[in-house]
Amino acid sequence: MSKLLGIIDAISRWSGMICRWGVLVLVVVLCYEVTARYVFDNPTIWAHEMSMMLGVFIVTIGWSYVHLRKGHVRVDVFYARMSPRTRAWVDIGCFLVFFLPLMLVLIYASVGMAWEAYIFDEVLMASFWYPPALPIRLVVVIGLSTFLLQGLADFTRDVYRVVKGASLD
């Protein structure tokens, strides 16, 4: 079990590394657009939509990494004062009531949107570039799936802590 959790954590760390490159590409795209627009008076038709897609890429692929690093917003006023076992109980409850149902609904919806983008050859229409929608729709599916995997790994650790009273790591 510990090896599987390590693999999931490695996937989440890897997604964080990918996001770093996505941020670099986003900076290059925006610098290119600003230079083309204001220095050469020749704006691009693709930079705005590309920067939006890169933003979606960075956020969705980064969810699992942020969850691994415990970086999501949490009300620490009470949580920080709890024992590790009580925190595990709270995390289990929040996972079952909020996280798992939300992730399942979002993954179901995003798979449907990706499927429709594939079936209908959907294009994005925020500019006159008209890039295909399928790649960014698949990025959302992948990002949500890795986020769910990391959530399941943390849920497993919490259940182990409650049952055994010790950390699984």
Over residues 58-109, the pLDDT tens digits come to: 999 999 999 999 888 777 788 888 898 999 999 999 999 999 999 999 999 9
Which pLDDT belongs to residue 74? Answer: 76
62 vs 15: CA distance, rounded Å: 6
> Which helix (H) or strand (E) covers residue 62, if one does?
helix 47-68
- Contact indicator for 7, 149 with CB cutoff of 8 Å: no
pTM: 0.89
Given a cut of 70, whether residue 169 has pLDDT beyond it is no
What per-residue confidence (pLDDT) applies to 102? 97
Question: Residue 166: is its pLDDT beyond 90?
Answer: no
Each residue's pLDDT tens digit, 110-164: 999 999 999 999 999 888 888 999 999 999 999 999 999 999 999 999 999 999 8
